[in-house]
A = this chain, B = another copy of it.
């Protein structure tokens, strides 16, 4: 596995790969790799000649009161996991390498960001879109692999690729979970023991709500109320719960089509997100 830290070096690697006509699968991450990331690497491995993983904790997508500084980092461990996962190139540039000067422009997302994490984290998806655009330009992947846990991120990046005609396919992979159902996340390490015990109730609440919908309940209002009820009594605080069309992320009073049930929940030192996406039969509004 090659470890590449500079813009000029990754360009040179990409140039060589392209000259040989080999395909590239990219897994963009913020590091502190877990089995969710490993499943993305596996998916990329299965389809591409060259698997690249990027590790970059992107300051642009963190708000001033968010956890950029204390976001977990362990590059040695990440290197080991990536190597074992069959990664060919690990691209881990520093902040100075990615943002060397004053920012001259950003991508400003205007659609599908007034809900979920977009509403809770103003500017977050501008930062995500900007850094993913940079990573795509630098690594020129044929496909890029993202986890469905960050469902709104996937929607924004699909929009970005379409808006700017970026020649990259976006592949959304299923959320990987702990045995008790908790979605794998780099931030899980910040849960207290009690919080870790309790946290699977987020997924259980989503499951029960999705089951209600599949059993025939079509009212967004009713399902939202039910989901909220399931989360009462938890030791943390709800950031948001929502039931929306996917990937458009629009409200629909009588649900039909592809629907996301989503939650964000604040624990003492970690904000967790999770979601379930299902197909609901019926005529779309």
| A contact residues vs B (CB 8 Å cutoff) | 7, 11, 18-19, 21, 101-112, 129-130, 133-134, 137-138, 140, 156, 159-160, 162-167
Contact = CB atoms under 8 A, between A and B. Distances in A.
Nearest to A159: B104
A136 to B, nearest CB: 9
B107 A108 contact: yes
Q: Which of A109, A134, A163 is the most central at the interface, judged by chain B CB atoms within 10 Å of its CB?
A: A163
Contacts of A165: 7, 134, 137-138
Contacts of A106: 107-108, 110
A86 B166 CA distance: 28
A102 to B, nearest CB: 6
A104 B111 contact: yes
A126 B148 CA distance: 31
Q: Pick the most buried of A11, A104, A112, A165: most chain B CB atoms within 10 A of its CB.
A: A104
Contact of A164 (B108, B111, B133, B156): B133
Given A11-B167, A106-B108, A130-B164, 15 more contacts: A101-B162, A102-B111, A104-B159, A105-B107, A105-B108, A105-B109, A105-B156, A106-B107, A107-B108, A108-B108, A134-B164, A137-B164, A137-B165, A137-B167, A140-B167
A11 to B, nearest CB: 7
A162 B104 contact: yes
A235 to B, nearest CB: 37
A257 to B, nearest CB: 18
Nearest to A98: B165
Interface centre among A134, A138, A159, A165 (most CB of B within 10 A): A165
Contact of A105 (B111, B137, B140, B167): B111
Contacts of A21: 19
A101 B137 CA distance: 24
30 contacts: A11-B167, A101-B162, A102-B111, A103-B110, A103-B111, A103-B163, A104-B109, A104-B110, A104-B111, A104-B112, A104-B159, A104-B160, A104-B162, A105-B107, A105-B110, A105-B129, A105-B159, A105-B160, A106-B108, A107-B107, A107-B108, A108-B108, A130-B164, A133-B164, A134-B163, A134-B165, A137-B164, A137-B166, A137-B167, A138-B165
Select the residue from A109, A137, A156, A166 with max chain B CB neighbours within 10 A. Answer: A137
